[in-house]
Amino acid sequence: MGLKARLVHLARTGEVPVFAVVGGGYRSAMHQLRHADGIRIVTSPRHASVLLIAGTFTEAATETVNRVHDQMAGPRVTVGWGHREPMLAPTRANPAGDTSEIAAVIRRQFHDVVTGAIQPEPPLLPDVDPVEWRGVGPYGHGGTGMTGGTPYGRPLALRAPDRDGLELDQVPVTIGPWFAGFPPGLALRVSLQGDVAQAVEVVTTSVVSSGPPGVFTRALHEPTPIRDLEMARARHHLEWMADTLLIAGADRLSLRADRLAETIQPGDVEHVTRLTAAARRSLLRLMTLRGVGVLSADIDMVGLGPVARAAGFSDDRRTPEPAYRDIGFQPVTHDVGDAWARFAQRAAEAAQAVDLAARAGSHRAFGSGEVEAPDGHHQAGETGPADRLTSMLDAVLPGMEWGDLVTTVQSLDIDMESVFFGRPPT
Amino acid sequence: MVGIGAALIVFVALLLTVGAAQWVWAATGENDSTVPERVPFAGGAEPEFHAWNRFHIRYYAMALLFLAFDMEMVFMYPWAVVFVRQGLLALIEMLMFILILVVGMVYAWREKSFEWD
Amino acid sequence: MTTLGIGIQVAAMLVGGAYVLAVADRLIGGSGSNVRSAFSYPVKRLSFLMLQPVTTTERPDLAAWILAPSLLLGLAAVGAVSIPIGGPSPGGDIPAGLVLFGAAMLIVLVAVFIFGWAPNSVLPMIGGYRFAAMVLSIGIPFSLVVLTTAIPAESLSVGTIVESQSSLWYLLVQPLGLPIYLITAAAIAFWGPFDLPEGTDLAGGIVAEASGARLAMWRFARAALMVTLSLMGAAVFLGGYLGPVLPGWLWTVIKTAVLLILLALTGRTMARIRVQRFVWFGWVVLLPLALVDVFVSGWVAL
């Protein structure tokens, strides 16, 4: 056996590096796939061999998905997962089944492409320079002025005053919509001076399409069992905590939060509080979240759900609801309003939700065209909190170091599925 | 007697062989990548500018503080060896030296040199 | 011992240690938790990376990109050369091994920085600059706690420092030493929770553009660096090759493996620290503690 054959023999059953593009309806399912046997979700396409396109998108996503596809190091395979029209890229397989089915399909495709049973995919975008070559010299540096010329069609950084009034280089970069630190679908154009954001602009192209309607959409129009609503809320918050822990590098705790979201039952308050305590012990508060992303008091936060309540506003659509009053609902609040307060707030709300679900009996709530979803107050026919949260970013983020910026965006729990459609998350 | 030469030989040998291996790998590998395959990764968006720029290092005051303490480290290596022979005198001398530097550290801390946003 | 002999010995330690670290990291951080698959995991991963094409970016600094992994591995090896593994070498070891080790570990900054700089991509570049802030903050406490072990030994040779622990390990004589050493060592090897240059918030940071053999090379060099740091920790705080019954080299291996597993444990369970918090932590907490370590240990040694 030659060296290459030996390597193929070893690699074909190894863990599959997958870069995932997540659209409408599959955020929750991705949390389970993350821990599937033999699958590793990677943060950069350069490490990936399989591109997974999960859920529904709009046409506008095509270009960015194609670019990520071409950036994959390969050998490339594209797999869909409940991926619907418009199809963003040709896929080898497109099951709509559960986690174990998609994991098996991904492992199979990876095995085949590594062993050469199927051909790796060629690049999708045309092989043309984005802008024609300009400038003189091997790096285009012989243009005009000290930094003249535009090698590879891309100019060098601009100069702009920083907050101290000094003229310094500033690079505008667009990051997203498939960047691991942001919610899927969100793209920000950030002007960076060093590692600090000087200006932030939300790139508002709708790329993630809304998934199938969920329990909170139903609750807009008809009274829904509180038990269902509160369990969905608890699961949503736990999955969000898993995301936060994953971005913070606490992999083990993130796994634990995901497992809890899968298995949690009404009344499991103890499980949630233990998870929160473990997060605190991992120094998440002390070293990562405390003091980051404080929202100033002059921002109108009414209707922003946990974000508002973490800043001390006792604002909750459940309070006036008679069914919730009957089972003794009182909104939880935190003060300070930083990223840790939002983490603690959602952890407390998840614990409260499983408690309410256990006590709800056959009570039903909402149906009045208004609902308190996990990310805040939704009204039938109106855009949800996610829309307001995204439009807030350009005021909140400037001046932050890059890591703090990512932490802050993550702490706001922006759901791109509901931004453009005025629908609550599913 | 193992001299410093052994370390130097190991270092240079590794640098050359590993570097050459990578270079050969790059030279003999598939060099037919297309333009879109070479675009730097930014989550799906296309970069408008080169990433290289005159990076604003906002922790420069801290970097200067490091230089001061690093000079002190240079003195401390020989100091540590003769410390037991020199006794209390060496301890007091170094303590005075360090205390002066620590004042600088406290000043930098007060002036918020350890944070930059 | 000849230079070739030392080279083989160091290579065996680095490769073996890197394997132990990869398996431990897999068992702790992997979700499958299948013990048998963890042992084959590093080999399969390496095989895949060797098959994967090495991608490039539009206008990379290719020389720097090639140099960086070689430099990192070279520095790890130089650090390891200064540490006696099996027992006292007949003619003594490198006279100022501690200085050589300290210098090599601080130059890691250069390797990481140019690896982030080379691809001409924003996220890796921020990763490289972040690492500069990190190393400048903990370089002093790191050097100080290692140097403190030279005070009672009255020598900068690592062999002599190991020998001087025949009655009591420096872990017990200088209780502040090993904790500070492990924290700063994890930061120098950009290992969790201090993996700021490779953070998820940078989509992999300095390795975001690296694939195939380049990524494999970099991963191995980083693991080798972790092994070197653990070797030194075992030598100056845990008595290196000293120990009853078993041969000296086995004691070195056991103690090094214990430190590696300890580092692997914290790497996957703690939350990554903010860079500014880390700078503050290095200067305001670790530096004064390291100074206390120096002067208290000095007072005790008198």
Q: How many domains does chain C have?
A: 1
CA distance B51 to C202: 14
DSSP conformation letters of A213-251 = --HHHHHHHS-EEHHHHHHHHHHHHHHHHHHHHHHTT-H
Mutating which of B25, B33, B35, B114 best tests the A interface, going by the most A Cβ atoms within 10 A?
B35
In a domain, B116, yes or no: no
Q: Sketch out chain A's domains with CATH numbers.
A: 3-115 (3.40.50.12280), 215-419 (1.10.645.10)
B52 contact C CB<8A = yes
Asked if A252 lies within 8 A of C269 by C-beta distance, the reply is yes
Q: Measuring CA to CA, how many Å separate C33 from each of A37, A160, A349, C39, C265?
A: 9, 51, 31, 11, 14
Q: What pLDDT, on a 0 to 100 scale, did the predictor assign at position A278?
A: 92
Taking contacts as CB-CB distances below 8 angstroms, the residues of chain A near C202 are 181, 402-403
Go through C2-37 and write b for each residue having 16 or more CB atoms within 10 A of its CB, e for each that does not. ebeebbebbeebbeebbbbbbbbbbbbbbbbeeeeb
What pLDDT score does A208 carry? Answer: 79
pLDDT digits (tens, 9 = 90+) for C98-126: 998 999 999 999 999 999 999 989 999 99
Rounded CA gap, B34 and A35, in Å? 34
Q: Above 90 in pLDDT, residue C286?
A: yes
Q: Least CA distance to B1: which residue of chain C?
A: C91
**Within a domain: residue B58?**
yes
Between β-strands A224-225 and A364-365, what pairing exists: parallel, antiparallel or unpaired? antiparallel
Q: What is the pTM of this model?
A: 0.91
Decide if pLDDT at C32 tops 70: no
Q: Between residues 240 and 299 of chain C, which touch chain B (CB distance below 8 Å)? A: 276, 279-280, 283-284, 287-288, 291, 294-295, 298-299
| Full residue range of the structural domain in which residue C190 is found | 3-301
**Do B36 and A67 count as a contact with CB atoms less than 8 A apart?**
yes
Structure confidence by residue, pLDDT tens digits, B47-94: 888 888 878 888 888 999 999 999 888 888 989 888 888 888 888 888
Q: Tell me, what's the pLDDT at B1? A: 43
B61 assigned to some structural domain? yes
Mark yes or no for CB contact A68/B44 under 8 Å.
yes
pLDDT per residue over C226-285, tens digit each? 999 999 999 999 988 888 888 888 899 999 999 999 999 888 888 999 999 999 999 999
Residue B11, domain CATH: 1.20.58.1610
Per-run averaged pLDDT (10 residues), chain A, 426 residues: 84 90 88 88 93 88 91 90 82 84 92 90 82 57 50 69 75 89 90 88 78 80 88 93 91 90 90 92 86 82 87 86 86 88 93 90 84 86 82 88 93 81 50
- Complex confidence, ipTM: 0.89
pLDDT at A138 (0 to 100): 57
**What is the per-residue pLDDT for A24?**
83
Residue pair C179/C141 in contact by the 8 Å Cβ criterion: no
Residues of B in contact with C92 (CB under 8 A): 1-2
| pLDDT for the residue numbered C206 | 94
Say if B44 falls within a structural domain. yes
| Helices (H) then strands (E): counts for chain C | 13, 0
